[in-house]
């Protein structure tokens, strides 16, 4: 039996729409992500457990793990008979890479169980394809950091999909999920299909400036470039009081703040525990809308998906 953990992630990181993503790990030692247990068996079986298992579709063939199994078998040209338990700990439609957690953990686990028939790049390609089936278009900014860890820039050049970017070890990433759901497909439908030249230039400057500052180890400069001119102006209205929240937590001391993936979760970055505590408290009191919502102080998860237990 193999047990695999896949971490939550922040798509876009505010500055790299569809092409920048960060895997995250709570500093209190808890795991924030989905788990898969897999073993050989006489027939295919899939069981869902975990806090958010009730949000999964009733029909097994609509379950993303079944789709992963189906596609994996087609690619390796062999029907593998396995018993899978999905521990669905990530809320669906939260903007924290919930679908990526299920896709990446299950494909990683199947590949391990079969002695790695698929290379890292092939597996990542398949993960992107399955993510695309859920959200309406292929984007790797959740599946790549979830699988490979750290901060990942999606390059899709010379047969390489993703490139790890240097990160700042003292950055704390505070995430807040308000406890409401936004479908990625709906949040994508809100965006314009074309942008003005001015917006394109701003976007290029912000993203290239962020990458430059990351490679030259200038944390304040990097944080200053985390500005979203592509999605935030159109999506912020979907989030509870986002503009006010962002202004306040920046006053508290956040170096940057933005929408995590397609929302409704948000992220804030700071560089010390005291500020992280103050931001968390504010978000817990003002951003959380239901009992299920949560706030977590995280570090980057530099490992990505792994076998545990
Ligand atoms: N880049 C994607 C989007 C992430 O913003 O639509 C979805 O989690």
Whole domain around residue 217: which residue ranges? 172-297
User: Looking at ligand 1, which atom is closest to the CA of residue 235?
Assistant: 5
pLDDT number for residue 135: 81
Check whether residue 208 and residue 104 sit in a common domain: no
- Mutational test site, ligand 1, from 9, 12, 192, max ligand atoms within 8 Å of CB: 12
How far apart are the CA of 262 and the centre of ligand 1, in A?
A: 5
Check whether residue 67 and residue 200 sit in a common domain: no
Check whether residue 276 and residue 193 sit in a common domain: yes
pLDDT number for residue 134: 84
How far apart are the CA of 261 and the centre of ligand 1, in A?
A: 4
pLDDT number for residue 204: 98
* Domains contained in the chain, number: 2
99 lines ligand 1 (CB under 6 A): no
φ and ψ of 157, to 5 deg: -135, 145
Q: Which residues are annotated as a binding site for ATP?
A: 91-101
pLDDT number for residue 136: 82
Check whether residue 112 and residue 77 sit in a common domain: yes
How far apart are the CA of 79 and the centre of ligand 1, in A?
A: 32
pLDDT number for residue 309: 78
Check whether residue 118 and residue 15 sit in a common domain: yes
- Burial of residue 119, with CB atoms counted within 10 A of its CB: 0-12 exposed, 13-18 middle, 19 or more buried: exposed
pLDDT number for residue 137: 85
Check whether residue 138 and residue 155 sit in a common domain: yes
**Continuous H helices in the chain:** 64-76, 98-113, 120-135, 143-148, 184-189, 197-215, 219-224, 232-235, 242-252, 273-286
Check whether residue 56 and residue 84 sit in a common domain: yes
pLDDT (tens digit, 0 to 9) for every residue of the chain, 309 residues total?
Answer: 999 999 999 999 999 999 999 999 999 999 999 999 999 999 999 999 999 999 999 999 999 999 999 999 999 999 999 999 999 999 999 999 999 999 999 999 999 999 999 999 999 999 999 999 888 889 999 999 999 999 999 999 998 999 999 999 999 999 999 999 999 989 999 999 999 999 999 999 999 999 999 999 999 999 999 999 999 999 999 999 999 999 999 999 999 999 999 999 999 999 999 999 999 999 999 999 999 999 999 999 999 999 997
Q: For residues 11 and 145, what is the distance between their CA atoms, to the nearest angstrom?
A: 9
Check whether residue 9 and residue 153 sit in a common domain: yes
18 lines ligand 1 (CB under 6 A): yes
156 lines ligand 1 (CB under 6 A): no
Check whether residue 272 and residue 223 sit in a common domain: yes
User: Looking at ligand 1, which atom is closest to the CA of residue 187?
Assistant: 6
11 lines ligand 1 (CB under 6 A): yes
Quick one: tokens of 103? 């896709």
**Among protein residues, the one whose CA lies closest to atom 4 of ligand 1:** 261
Check whether residue 147 and residue 29 sit in a common domain: yes
User: Looking at ligand 1, which atom is closest to the CA of residue 18?
Assistant: 1
CATH of the domain at 82: 3.30.230.10
Check whether residue 281 and residue 265 sit in a common domain: yes
3-state SS, residue 181: coil
Check whether residue 183 and residue 161 sit in a common domain: no
CATH of the domain at 184: 3.30.70.890
Q: Residue 135 contacts by C-beta under 8 Å, 6 or more apart in sequence?
A: 99, 184, 185, 188, 262
How far apart are the CA of 181 and the centre of ligand 1, in A?
A: 14
């Amino acid at each position: 039996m193999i047990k695999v953990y896949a971490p939550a992630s922040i798509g876009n990181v505010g500055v790299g729409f569809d092409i920048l993503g960060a895997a995250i790990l709570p500093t209190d030692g808890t795991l924030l992500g989905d788990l898969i247990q897999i073993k050989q068996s006489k027939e295919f079986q899939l069981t869902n457990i975990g806090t958010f298992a009730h949000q999964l579709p009733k029909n097994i063939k609509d379950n993303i793990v079944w789709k992963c199994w189906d596609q994996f078998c087609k690619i390796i040209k062999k029907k593998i008979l396995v018993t899978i338990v999905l521990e669905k700990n990530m809320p669906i439609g939260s903007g924290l890479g919930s679908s990526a957690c299920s896709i990446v953990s299950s494909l990683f686990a199947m590949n391990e169980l079969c002695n790695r028939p698929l290379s890292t790049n092939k597996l990542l390609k398949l993960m992107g394809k399955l993510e695309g089936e859920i959200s309406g278009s292929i984007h790797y900014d959740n599946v790549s950091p979830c699988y490979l860890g750290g901060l990942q820039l999606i390059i899709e050049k010379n047969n390489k999909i993703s490139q790890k970017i240097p990160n700042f070890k003292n950055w704390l990433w505070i995430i807040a999920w308000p406890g409401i759901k936004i479908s990625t497909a709906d949040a994508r439908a809100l965006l314009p299909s074309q942008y003005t030249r001015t917006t394109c230039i701003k976007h290029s400057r912000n993203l290239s400036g962020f990458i430059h500052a990351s490679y030259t180890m200038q944390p304040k400069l990097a944080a200053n470039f985390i500005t979203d001119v592509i999605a935030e102006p159109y999506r912020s209205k979907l989030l509870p009081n986002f503009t006010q929240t962002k202004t306040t937590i920046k006053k508290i001391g956040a170096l940057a703040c933005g929408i995590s993936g397609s929302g409704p979760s948000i992220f804030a970055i700071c560089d010390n525990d005291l500020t992280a505590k103050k931001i968390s408290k504010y978000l817990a009191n003002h951003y959380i809308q239901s009992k299920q919502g949560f706030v977590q102080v995280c570090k980057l998860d530099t490992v990505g998906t792994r076998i545990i237990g």
